[in-house]
Amino acid sequence: MSANGITLDRVEKTFAIKRRASFTALQDVSLEVGAGEFVALLGPSGCGKSTILRMIAGLELPTAGTLQVNGRKPADLVSDHRLGVAFQDHALLPWLTVAQNIALPFQLAKRPVDRSRISELIELVGLAAFRDAHPRQLSGGMRQRASIARALALRPEVLLLDEPFGALDAVTRRRMNLELARIWEEERTTTVLVTHDVEEAVFLAQRVIVLAANPGRVRHEEALTFSVDRADGLDRSDEFHHVVDRLTRMLDA
């Protein structure tokens, strides 16, 4: 088992649904995410994508098997504020400005607020002109950028993204994919993305894990190596669409 990155070894997760009845959400799931790697989890509803993310975040415990993050239990990283999380709901506090929302992790961790880090992140996500704006004054894409900046505030060892752009329109979502790709290139944080969108997974990730449902299990792993860079029009290339079409057919089947 690797000491760096995320390792799930024969993980199972069973939920009790009523007296003497249970539901197996995940069964015999083994996968690794290397340190600094961007991996997307893709699959139909009910395949356990978000359950895996919640276990990595320390919000759920495996029923069987082991899960480690950089050789430690997820709960240890949570207590050290070494996990960053961004969900579809940006969860920004409406009475705080962009800068104040990004500063919040420092305050929750009882650490001195690093003003230079906050300014660096505001620049990184392209919100320099909006650092003193409140969430209601921002577009949906801007709010998600602020949410991602907040998740990165304490330089987490792992960034977890659960459908972060699912509520955005198609044009804004594509722009946010480009932004997230640029942010990851600069930060190189170990990242796990949960998404239903095949194109988003293939565009952003270095590797896509396709899950099957009932119970959730690993069906396929796709390493992504393209000759075209994202910024150079990867999503318009034939090789990109060949992979997207093949994975889509796999999910449809």
Angle, CA 81 vertex, CA 149 and CA 162 arms, to 5° = 55
What proportion of the chain, given as a percentage, has pLDDT over 70?
Answer: 98
Q: What is the pLDDT of residues 24-47, one digit of tens each?
A: 889 999 999 999 999 999 998 888
Q: Are strands 190-195 and 158-162 parallel, antiparallel or unpaired?
A: parallel
Query: What is the CATH code of the structural domain delimited by 6-82+158-252?
Result: 3.40.50.300
And the tokens for 167? 């509520």
Structural domain boundaries of the chain?
A: 6-82+158-252, 90-155
Distance CA 176, CA 162 (A): 14
Q: What is the pLDDT of residues 140-181, one digit of tens each?
A: 889 988 999 999 999 999 999 998 888 788 888 888 888 888
| DSSP classification of residue 72 | B
